[in-house]
Amino acid sequence: MILMMRATSSRMRESLAEASRYVSISALVRSAEQSAMSSLRSSEQPFSFQPFSISAFPKVSLRYLFIDFDSFFASVEQQFRPELRGKPVGIVPSLGIDTTCCIAASYEAKAYGVKTGTGVREARYLCPGITFVQGDHTRYVQTHEKIHKLIHEVIYVDAVLSIDEMYGRLPPRWQSPEVARSKALEIKASLAQEIGPHIGASIGIAPNRFLAKLASKLEKPDGLVLLDFDAIPAALLRMPLSEVTGIGRRIEQRLRTARVLTMDDLYQCSRRKLHRIWGSIEGDRMWYALRGIELPPVVTHRSTVGHSHIMPPRLRTTHGAHSVLHRMLQKACRRLRAMDYFTSHLQVKVTFGFEQRWRAEAHCFPTQDCIILGERLNQLWINHPTDTAPPTKVAVTLSHLTQGGSHTPSLFPEENHPRRIALQNAMDAINKRYGGRTLYYAPAMEAQRCPEAAPMRIAFNHIPDLELEDDTP
């Protein structure tokens, strides 16, 4: 009991010290801003915001370790297929389709200008010797899960952000540069030994998660960068603004309009100027993040569940598109039931040819029933365009989600079918055990019998659950 109390007291002291350090930093920031504004009001000369001075802040240890895997899909293929090593590789959704694009590229291909989103024809022009490989998403998820478990044995993984990004917070005793570097090297050695030397990882270590992610980009591939306050902002001045997390095309255009063209310009901006450019508090968060100050994370909630798919050539017909839409709808409903969510809004998108886009949507009482949503889909499909080019891309999105604990069942029998939901849960259990194409409703039959129709895919912000979404038995 005494040992437990001492340990608890020690952790409390560490937490209080960390909190007081954060409060002192915030107070210094406010003081600096007030001083700057006073100078602005009292001086007749145009005000120029001085560069960020690290000397005004107390030294804070390296607290975050960010891991970014290098060209993950292509690296996994090169690890498991020795004949691809050292060669330019492009990962594509399907082979033999010149209208698709690369979803990943190896560093050998990137040297020729091939990158994610490059069309197959353009990639072949830029790099005549490129080898295209159809993405094996099951293998990528399996490899990711092994890597996650392996890294978790070295440091605690706080969050997995995507298939190729994760981070962990270093405890106080590991925050010195020497120990932090040794932990990063231990992770790299474990990956090379247990997974393979061809799956590299770039690691960034910094006072907050934002800077740790930027640090991981500085020495790709297979880099290791420690970015402490002494290196801010000098180490980041060569980074293009487009590579900074939180700066998309729209914000970059706003920065350009405000004559903020480089990282040096960005660091010269006052917090109020960034607030005006962003048009929200996100500009303030950027100002603090660039200076290594960790702010409370923004709590987000799931708002949609859906799937999109480039149609395989054999299904580019009206009936084929309708069948693929039903398959994706049934997959989305399976995910809803697994997460215990209900939806009241269905949106369908179809691209005919490569220019004509059609969208339709319908509302319903919150449900997770494939039959109810399938009927809404059929009603929408009646009004789809005719006399057009063949459909090439389809998408289904379920939104206006409600958690199961907040859901009130309908009193009307046509909107409440508990026995049918029980049947669909039984179908989910069978599909989970024997593969996602085992049991399904008839409108999806044509797509279910086509292996290329809406297979499991890894999205930017969604790592599929192999037990729930894998199609292989």
Same domain membership, residue 198 and residue 81: yes
Domain count, the chain: 3
Q: Tell me what pLDDT residue 51 has.
A: 45
In a domain, 12, yes or no: no
Lowest mean pLDDT among 11-20, 80-89, 278-287: 11-20
Over range 298-316, report the average pLDDT.
Answer: 86
Q: Are residues 424 and 370 in contact, defined by beta-carbon separation less than 8 angstroms?
A: yes
Q: Do 293 and 311 sit in the same domain of this protein?
A: no
CATH number where 172 lies: 3.30.70.270
- Establish if 355 belongs to a structural domain: yes
Strands 89-92 and 131-134: parallel
Is the residue at 236 inside a domain?
A: yes
37: confidence class by pLDDT, cuts 50, 70, 90: very low
* pLDDT confidence tier of residue 63, bands split at 50, 70 and 90: very high
| Structural domain includes residue 396 | yes
- 83, burial (CB in 10 Å: exposed 0-12, middle 13-18, buried 19+): exposed
Which residues form the catalytic set? Answer: 165
Residues 179 and 153 in one domain: yes
Determine the average pLDDT of the residues in 392-406: 93
What residue type is 8 in one-letter code?
A: T
Secondary structure string (H, E, C) spanning 287-335: HHHHCCCCCCCCCCCCCEEEEEEECCHHHCCHHHHHHHHHHHHHHHHHH
Query: Looking at the structure, do residues 316 and 447 belong to the same domain, yes or no?
Result: yes
75 found inside a domain: yes
At 341 the pLDDT is 94
Q: Which residue intervals of 340-458 are DSSP H helices?
A: 370-381, 418-434, 445-448
| Helical segments of 195-230, H only | 209-216
Residue % of the chain over a pLDDT of 70: 86
Among candidate residues 202, 229, 256, the one where a domain is terminated: 229
Rounded CA-CA distance 70/222 in Å is 7
What is the Cα–Cα distance from 368 to 348, expressed in whole angstroms?
17
Q: From residue 233, give the alpha-carbon distance in Å to each of 75, 105, 213, 266, 339.
A: 32, 31, 14, 10, 43
Q: The tokens of 360 are what?
A: 């339709």
Rounded to the nearest integer, the mean pLDDT of the chain is: 85
Residue range 118-135: average pLDDT? 93
pLDDT category, 44, cuts 50, 70, 90? Answer: very low
Look-up: residue for tokens 């992770």? 187
Would you state the torsion angle of the CA atoms of residues 88, 115, 68, 177, taken in this order, to the nearest 10 degrees?
A: 90
Q: Within this chain, do residues 208 and 272 fall inside the same structural domain, yes or no?
A: no
Q: What is the model's pLDDT at position 473?
A: 58
**What's the pLDDT at 472?**
67
Q: Where are the beta strands (DSSP E) in 240-286?
A: none
* CB contact set of 95 (below 8 Å; sequence gap of 6+): 132, 134
- Point out the domain boundary residue: 210, 229, 248: 229
Phi, psi of 388 (to 5 degrees): -130, 180
Point out the domain boundary residue: 229, 244, 268.
Answer: 229
Kindly report the CATH number assigned to the domain that includes residue 334.
3.30.1490.100
Judged against a pLDDT cut of 60, whether residue 52 lies above it is answered with: no
Whether residues 337 and 261 share a domain: the answer is: no
- Shared-domain flag, residues 436 and 315: yes
Which amino acid belongs to residue 34?
A: Q
Q: Do 74 and 211 lie in a common domain?
A: yes
Per-residue pLDDT tens over the stretch 332-360: 999 999 999 999 999 999 999 888 999 99
463 is in which domain, residue-wise?
304-469
